[in-house]
Amino acid sequence: MNDAHWINQPPQLPSNKRRARSLAAQLVSFVIVLAVAGSAGFLGGQYSQDENTSSGGPLVTAPPVSEVSVGASSIAKAANVIAPSVVTVDSVSDSGQSVGSGVILSSDGEILTNNHVIEGASTVRVRLGGETEPRIADVLGTDPGNDLGLIKLRKATGLTAATLADPLSILVGDQVVAVGYALDLDGGPSVTSGIVSALNRTLTVENGALNALIQTDAAISSGNSGGPLINMSGQVIGINTAVARGDSSTAANNIGFAISVGEVLRIVPVLRKQASGSSRSEGYLGVGLSDRSDGGQGALVSQIAPDSPAEKAGLRVDDIVLEVNDQPITGQGSLIAIVRDAIPGDEITISVLRKGARLVLTAKLVVRKGN
């Protein structure tokens, strides 16, 4: 499959490099072609009268536009709802400077973004829509495995919090809008539209695996990381995180991914607990995995760790894991993510295919130690 790339990185850089704020890295080249008509035209909404009529009459002009206006389309209305809740997130670390987007979750300044936007940051700055000066934010908690991070502004009040959609309301084919500060361009956030192309996608990335992703064909660019994917009511259905790019042997067009609101609702409380000093432990099963090569779905067990929950549950090498807790396993990435996000001590049910027979096993997870 095509590689997934963090979307706050410039296209020409590897996905594991953060953007340096050198002049060359900041500039984006555009070729702007001005359409200059051969005849006398008019700017500012005016147009000339029919050439067969007298030129001495009044010019026809558009009515005045109010200072604050919202387009008539459903896309414009949805974007207008979310606009006050979308911010620019700028972080500084030893490896350089990274710019992405974020979504306001509370009126007192809680903001959700991607972990890779703020990873290793010594300073995090946030600029609200309509403001010229950045504000300082503190990192409350991060979850690299799920690529989410929670930050909070200092002394903020009266902010407009985004509304999170019901996860069960999201369907393939629904129209969606991606909002964020693409390419860190001047001015307000960029707005692009598309549909929900697929649900429950899984990507294997450098920190493990991202599961339960929403795939969309709405254009997503560098700088959109951490920004919202919304429905036509302006409710957040996901957090934009990665795009797929083609290579010499494959092609990828308009394939972007967002962390689903279902994952957001599950992870944000955990991030809030980190702010009070609570650490999160990941689940551990004790298997080595590979993807099936016979065209089937599921994850192939290639190794069993001695004295692990997997061994005690009766899993064997060459078992094909089809489901965990009734959740379909589409590949090794989805199994990795489900086990990682489980709480140590939980018992999970594992449906496996063994030599043509389907079996259901039970494993009690323990705490993952190290990597």
**Contacts for 44 with CB less than 8 Å, ≥ 6 apart:** 61
- Residue 147 a catalytic site member: yes
Q: Which two tokens stand for residue 125?
A: 């700055």
Catalytic-role residue among 147, 184, 217, 319: 147
Active site residue: 221, 225, 308, 334, which one?
Answer: 225
Cα–Cα distance, 24 to 310 (Å, whole number):
51
Evaluate whether 190 touches 227 at the Cβ level (below 8 Å).
no
CB environment 82-95: b (16+ within 10 A), e (fewer):
bbebbbbbbbbeee
Task: Give the span between the Cα atoms of 301 and 317, in whole angstroms.
Answer: 5
Q: Three-state SS for 183?
A: helix
Single out the catalytic residue among 116, 190, 319, 351. 116
Catalytic status, residue 116: yes
Q: Buried (b) or exposed (e) across 308-321, using 16+ Cβ within 10 A? A: bbbbebebeeebbb
Catalytic residues: 116, 147, 225
